[in-house]
Structure 1
Amino acid sequence: MDNEFRIAEILKGKGMTQTDLAERIGISRVGLSKAINGNTTIATLRKIAAALDVEVSELFAPKPTNTIMCPKCGTVLEVKEKTE
């Protein structure tokens, strides 16, 4: 999956396109493409998560485990959303 978030995977599961998502959150298709490729802000991630009806952490790692594996060392990492 390279540096991408799970956005494309979640979109596919919901039957949505990147264009649909971009329109929902009020950014251009190019802006969404940049966000999907890792050039984004937490504010944009929160908008994307809300539009997809998922938690921000799910953009990185699927539930129920909320874990990802480091592609370099194989360490399993738990992804948590910081609560304020």
Structure 2
Amino acid sequence: MAIRIKEVIKEKGTTVKDLAQKMGISNVGLSQHINGNPSVEVLERIATALDVPVTDLFEQPKSDTASLTCPHCGKSIEIGVK
């Protein structure tokens, strides 16, 4: 599942610099989180600062089903997404 923080920042009409200032961290620190693998805590702080649910920071599934591969038998497992 892809993280789409940069897109949400644009959608909100703000900048990384403004968001970093609102969060009380450096531009470099926020950029590292955005381009790296942010923790759940950081994602929650970003979502709060942008006034969006955390789920908005992730790419939504293209359909209402998701597919996983069973690690034991290798078969595809279809899962309904709500």
Q: TM-score range by the shorter chain?
A: 0.5 to 0.7
Over 3 Å off, 4+ runs? 77-80
CA displacement 1:23-50 (0-9 Å, x = unmatched) = 1111111111111112322111101000
Q: Retained in 2: the 8 A contact 1:25–1:51?
A: yes
Question: Which residue is equivalent to 2:25?
Answer: 27
CA displacement 1:48-77 (0-9 Å, x = unmatched) = 00011111121112xxxx3269xxxxx5x9
Higher relative contact order (CA 8 A, sep 6+): 2
Q: Which runs of 5+ in 1 are unaligned?
A: 70-74
Q: Which has the larger radius of gyration?
A: 2
- The 3 A distance-change label for structure 1 pair 15 and 40 is same
CA displacement 1:3-24 (0-9 Å, x = unmatched) = 9621111111111000000011
For residues 30-41 of structure 1, what are the structure 2 equivalents within 5 Å? 30-41=28-39
- The 3 A distance-change label for structure 1 pair 41 and 23 is same
- The 3 A distance-change label for structure 1 pair 18 and 4 is farther
**Same amino acid, percent of matched pairs:** 49
TM-score by length of 1: 0.65
Distance 1:31 1:78 in 2: 37
Q: Which runs of 5+ in 2 are unaligned?
A: 68-78
